[in-house]
Amino acid sequence: MLIVPERQIPDLLTRSASFTAVEKVFAAMAAGQAYNFPVIREAIGHEDALYGFKGGFDRDGHTLGLKAGGYWPHNLEKRGLINHQSTVFLFDPDSGMISAMVGGNYMTALRTAAASAVSIQHLARPDAKVIGMIGAGHQATFQLRAALEQRPFEKVIGWNLHPEMLPNLAAVAEEAGLPFEAVELDGMTEADVIITITSSFAPSLLAQHVSPGTHIACMGTDTKGKQELEAALLGSATVFADEIDQSITLGEAQHAIATGLISRDDITEIGAVINGTHPGRSSAEEITLFDGTGVGLQDLAVAAAVVDLAVEQGVAIEVDF
């Protein structure tokens, strides 16, 4: 089996390789060639940790495996380690033998950023100029960098409940040579694309903050109870998701579904747009919305890309097993 340690991954994995892997696996999911296994997530009653598994099988990509990991809230203060910890295990789909073990922490950030980038590539207006960010934490900087590569954006605007974190976004805008402006939520009407990436349990982005023609990528809501958008926005938008089951149970759509504003049939897998079986955006006025909940197959696809890159560059560690 091959091992690719966490420390090597930032030097191996590019945003472009992550984008390609995620776009392909979304396409395979919509074509019925790849599916995610039920997610396990447990409060283990130790260190206040949440631990679980996300797995799946991609017949097209010949990728089978799981990501194991979770959230250890005291890691940083007690051990100087990051609170999110995960590892991906890949298996040979022909024999069932383990084929690789790959550090999952940095990869998770890039695969999540790739998902909103794929949605922007396929659903945002081609003339999008202003990108708006709601959220300015760890993941927001990854989302913004990947998004900026999808359209010739001319300006970044941002809002965050904790304004002292906004310099994180300003730094990414500056890196890309773009102006950054901190705005109130009303100011989001200037945005052609909005990414939400907060850990909020109550809506921040309301219908009145969104202009016609905007594409919204909702990336923060990945658990029952979390919410970033007023549910009415889902009622007035054309809604896409990475996976419909997750979208309606733990994604942003959970609230609009629970209140009957939309039904499951109103949500389309983004892979259908990638495959050309759904036309995607139909007009310059339509609001498109992507509910990116984060699926195990994204992790496996990006991990498989990391293994290929590590082998190509001669840095994969081979062990007998």
Q: Which is nearer to ligand NAD, 305 or 316 (CB)?
A: 305
The helix or strand, by DSSP H or E, that contains position 123, with its residue range, turns out to be: helix 105-123
CA 305 to CA 12: how far, in whole Å?
9
Measured CA to CA in angstroms, residue 222 lies from 107, 112, 236, 237 at distances of: 17, 11, 22, 20
Q: How far is the CB of 136 from ligand NAD (least distance, A)?
A: 5
Contact 16, 302 (CB under 8 A): no
Q: Which is nearer to ligand NAD, 181 or 222 (CB)?
A: 222
Q: How far is the CB of 294 from ligand NAD (least distance, A)?
A: 2
Q: How far is the CB of 109 from ligand NAD (least distance, A)?
A: 7
CA 112 to CA 123: how far, in whole Å?
17
CA 242 to CA 31: how far, in whole Å?
13
Among 82, 98, 165, 183, binds ligand NAD (CB under 6 A): 165
Q: Which is nearer to ligand NAD, 98 or 105 (CB)?
A: 105
Residue 311 burial (10 A CB sphere; 0-12, 13-18, 19+):
middle
Contact between 200 and ligand NAD by CB under 6 A: the answer reads: yes
Q: Which stretch binds ligand NAD (CB under 6 A): 28-36, 62-70, 272-280, 291-299?
A: 291-299
Q: Which is nearer to ligand NAD, 192 or 228 (CB)?
A: 228
Q: Which is nearer to ligand NAD, 99 or 150 (CB)?
A: 150
Among 160, 227, 246, 288, binds ligand NAD (CB under 6 A): 160
Q: Which is nearer to ligand NAD, 128 or 297 (CB)?
A: 297
Contact between 137 and ligand NAD by CB under 6 A: the answer reads: yes
Contact between 135 and ligand NAD by CB under 6 A: the answer reads: yes
**67 carries an active-site annotation:** yes
CA 71 to CA 254: how far, in whole Å?
22
Q: Which stretch binds ligand NAD (CB under 6 A): 123-131, 136-144, 176-184, 255-263?
A: 136-144
Helix, strand, or coil here: 47?
coil
The residues, any chain, with a CB within 8 Å of residue 14's CB and separated by 6 or more, are: none
> Would you give the binding string for ligand NAD spanning residues 217-246, x where CB under 6 A is met?
--xx-x------------------------
Among 15, 59, 138, 155, binds ligand NAD (CB under 6 A): 138
Say which of 24, 67, 224, 226 is annotated catalytic: 67
Tell me the residue number closest to ligand NAD, measured at CB.
Answer: 137
The residues, any chain, with a CB within 8 Å of residue 42's CB and separated by 6 or more, are: 50, 51, 52
> 314-321 — which CB contacts under 8 Å span 24+ positions?
315/4, 315/8, 315/12, 316/2, 316/3, 316/4, 316/100, 317/2, 317/3, 317/4, 317/5, 318/1, 318/2, 318/3, 319/1, 319/2, 319/3, 321/1, 321/97, 321/98
Q: Which stretch binds ligand NAD (CB under 6 A): 40-48, 194-202, 229-237, 276-284?
A: 194-202
Q: Which stretch binds ligand NAD (CB under 6 A): 7-15, 173-181, 215-223, 252-260?
A: 215-223
Q: How far is the CB of 17 from ligand NAD (least distance, A)?
A: 18
Q: Which residues bind ligand NAD (CB under 6 A)?
A: 108, 112, 135-140, 160-162, 165, 197-200, 204, 219-220, 222, 292-294
Positions marked catalytic: 67
